[in-house]
Structure 1
């Protein structure tokens, strides 16, 4: 019983994987006009299918514990048995019993053709160390699935946050491209008018048109990326992919989101994956103890009360039928002596499993520390890069303004203006992307320290 539960516990665990099909509830749900990151996370925690499955696994673990506990409670049942011997079984007895030759063998039919028996059976496990260990393992199993549900919750928060920021990053790129398209369209109109009045060269007008066409193509490809990113975000949130959502771009607010961030302290035991390995280690200890307990005695008490009736023909419904009562109580002691060294081999395998788990835990702890250090380094490097890109953006804005002024005054060629416009667009895009990279680095720090749920505070 214990090994069946333990095997189920060890191998039935499923990580976050493919998403399930749509819910049966087709009621139309409305969402805020502008969806913040926190609101997105809250919706995801309520609707994500894999998180729901993890919570159901936690509930199922409680029922498994009740099932194991039930094996130690009284087992009570009723039974009935009807026998119709078409030929009564013959029995061989010494001939001397009935006055014959003692050296002969007489074959007689003992019993009657029909019998009916009904009664109640009661059994109670009095002592079994394996059962007691199984109860402890079942309680630990509940803790295991509780941690799994919490880990699934953290995974949902992390995945929604990453995709939300990714979508915002693409939206900022689209705004930048759209602003450049508006600027190029305005410039195209000016050059078209100048060309018609012989004030501009056709080659200059064509260069603007080529540049405009290139930016429009880039925007079209970006629209596809936005659709895909937002679609996956909705999938993680557990809402229909055709739901119209407007994301809050203030997630990239420098003052509120970046400068006020505090790097969390690292405590490896705050991570759910490390806690899960600790619980698995405890389960392996129980498995080993249970295997050893199989060599220990088990005591069961039982009782049986019944009524019996016998007949040559079926007349058990007769009011004059005589029923004979039987009642017994007893104890059954089972003491394993030798099982072909199976228990010894199972215990050795359990020890090897525990050793492998210990190596997994050491590897996980080193990986967790590396993940945290990498996230912190990435965060500070991202801040440094952001400061540099901010200076570049300010310089590119100044250059663009000067180039526009010089071009309008006829002191600078169109190529200088186009180059300045391209440089500014690139600087703005790099700056926007870097803000998101800083925010992603913050998320990775929270995730590596097991504090990703702080996003809900």
Structure 2
């Protein structure tokens, strides 16, 4: 009985340990999963949103993987500069030995079993493929890095615009909510005046219509905000099932509007120009590669061979017959039907095409900057006008509301003032978003967004 109890106690302790181990493994797996998908942000400021996007956006991650793939491919090409050592083993069983007639007699040569083991080594001295890989390795790596930078720049610009767009919608919702509060108060006033016989039911019905429309507008904007938030999450690579607590400061946003509009375009700073210039450098190397086809390929080699021969398989490896040699190889194509000249002409034409591409790209960058700057200036003027209009609209609404309560103004004028105030405030926040978004376009065209 005691033995049974001891075994039961031991089994219980083992079960507890296994349960604890299972719990630890589950928690570890959960932690790793969260780490891979990205932990949710506690506060989603613009800086944190951009930082998160650069770390988790799939396009950026793909570009980084492409960069690593390029690096591995370069190392694989450069490995051809190192000595290449190979081993070859062979066994052969002759069913019928080779025969030859000598002096009228059939003489057979060789043995029934042969085997060989060969060690061979080669060292490239000059080879245009390997030379191209070594001379362009840094440029190819640079181009891969530039592609990653362009992905990051696109992500930063798009995420920033989406962030401001979501903020503008949040501000519109806030305007709608404030408008509803005012309209509900106006509805109570209109109903009270109607009940007291001061005015007819027209004011009351107008107030009801305006309130209904304002609530419908609020619902529409709330649904649009859901879409804009989901779109922002997608651009960030953020978990769609997690909340994104966007935090903003309208005053800080206004401070970010300033931009020096007297700057001139420096094409060398633009990421697309850098990438095309890198392509041009690689094409220059390709022209040299085509010309190197007239040069010989030179390599060193050495072989060490072990041969085994015997009629009996069991005695095959008792005696070895080694031989070895070293040497040099030079291969020079003499005539290829003009193929090498055609390849050189093709490489030069591709080079000329890239020159034209660079020229066209400069024009496109200049157009991009001009368009972005014009958009920024027009949006800035609109923003400044709307900012002044908000103050005027608030002042007009307050005065007309007081005059209506005093019986000087009609309710129609109150509704017009309310509509003007709501529209002006919404236009103000839209203009603020547009000027910030167009500023990002200007900075991108100037090549001042670098990652």
TM-score, normalised to structure 2, is 0.87
Calculate the aligned-residue CA RMSD, in Å: 2.2
> Contact 1:130–1:293 at 8 Å: present in 2 too?
no
* Structure 2 gaps, min length 5: 1-30
| Gap change, CA 1:112 and 1:174, over 3 Å in 2 | same
Q: Does 1:84 align with 2:125?
A: no
Give the deviation of 1:139 after TM superposition.
2.3
| Gap change, CA 1:210 and 1:448, over 3 Å in 2 | same
| Gap change, CA 1:233 and 1:55, over 3 Å in 2 | same
Q: Residue 268 of structure 2 aligns with which residue?
A: 269
Q: Residue 379 of structure 1 aligns with which residue?
A: 376
Give the deviation of 1:115 after TM superposition.
0.3
Q: Distance in 1 between matches of 2:82 and 2:195?
A: 98
Q: Distance in 1 between matches of 2:119 and 2:319?
A: 19
> Contact 1:277–1:361 at 8 Å: present in 2 too?
yes
Give the deviation of 1:252 after TM superposition.
5.7
Q: Distance in 1 between matches of 2:185 and 2:57?
A: 46
> Contact 1:288–1:351 at 8 Å: present in 2 too?
yes
Q: Residue 442 of structure 1 aligns with which residue?
A: 439
> Structure 2 matches for 1:98-109, cutoff 5 A?
98-100=102-104, 108-109=107-108
Q: Does 1:25 align with 2:40?
A: no
Which digits, 9 at most, give the CA deviation of each residue in 1:356-402, with x for residues without a partner? 22222111111111212222232222222222222322222222112
> Structure 2 matches for 1:216-235, cutoff 5 A?
216-235=215-234
1:25 is paired with a residue whose SS is: helix
> Structure 2 matches for 1:195-234, cutoff 5 A?
195-234=194-233
> Contact 1:195–1:201 at 8 Å: present in 2 too?
yes
| Gap change, CA 1:317 and 1:129, over 3 Å in 2 | closer
2:329 is paired with a residue whose SS is: strand
Count of equivalent residues:
418
Give the deviation of 1:337 after TM superposition.
1.1
Give the deviation of 1:24 after TM superposition.
7.9
> Structure 2 matches for 1:26-425, cutoff 5 A?
26-27=34-35, 29-33=39-43, 35-91=44-100, 98-100=102-104, 108-250=107-249, 253=252, 256-259=255-258, 261-263=259-261, 264-316=263-315, 321-425=318-422
> Contact 1:251–1:257 at 8 Å: present in 2 too?
no
TM-score, normalised to structure 1, is 0.86
Q: Distance in 2 between matches of 1:45 and 1:26?
A: 17
> Contact 2:310–2:316 at 8 Å: present in 1 too?
no
Which digits, 9 at most, give the CA deviation of each residue in 1:307-358, with x for residues without a partner? 111111312466xx21111111122211111223222333222222222222
2:298 is paired with a residue whose SS is: strand
Which digits, 9 at most, give the CA deviation of each residue in 1:160-189, with x for residues without a partner? 111111111111111111111111112222
* Structure 1 gaps, min length 5: 1-22, 101-105
Deviant stretches of 4+, over 4 Å: none
2:33 is paired with a residue whose SS is: coil
| Gap change, CA 1:124 and 1:366, over 3 Å in 2 | same
Q: Residue 4 of structure 1 aligns with which residue?
A: none
Q: Greater CA deviation, 412-421 or 432-441?
A: 432-441
Give the deviation of 1:71 after TM superposition.
0.7
Q: Distance in 1 between matches of 2:245 and 2:196?
A: 45
Give the deviation of 1:108 after TM superposition.
4.4
1:315 is paired with a residue whose SS is: helix
Q: Distance in 2 between matches of 1:448 and 1:388?
A: 26
Which digits, 9 at most, give the CA deviation of each residue in 1:72-130, with x for residues without a partner? 11001222100011122445xxx6xx445xxxxx7643222210111311111122244
> Contact 1:176–1:425 at 8 Å: present in 2 too?
yes
Q: Distance in 2 between matches of 1:303 and 1:251?
A: 76
> Contact 2:139–2:278 at 8 Å: present in 1 too?
yes
Q: Distance in 2 between matches of 1:444 and 1:107?
A: 91
Higher share in helix: 2
> Contact 2:60–2:148 at 8 Å: present in 1 too?
yes
| Gap change, CA 1:265 and 1:25, over 3 Å in 2 | farther
Q: Residue 11 of structure 1 aligns with which residue?
A: none
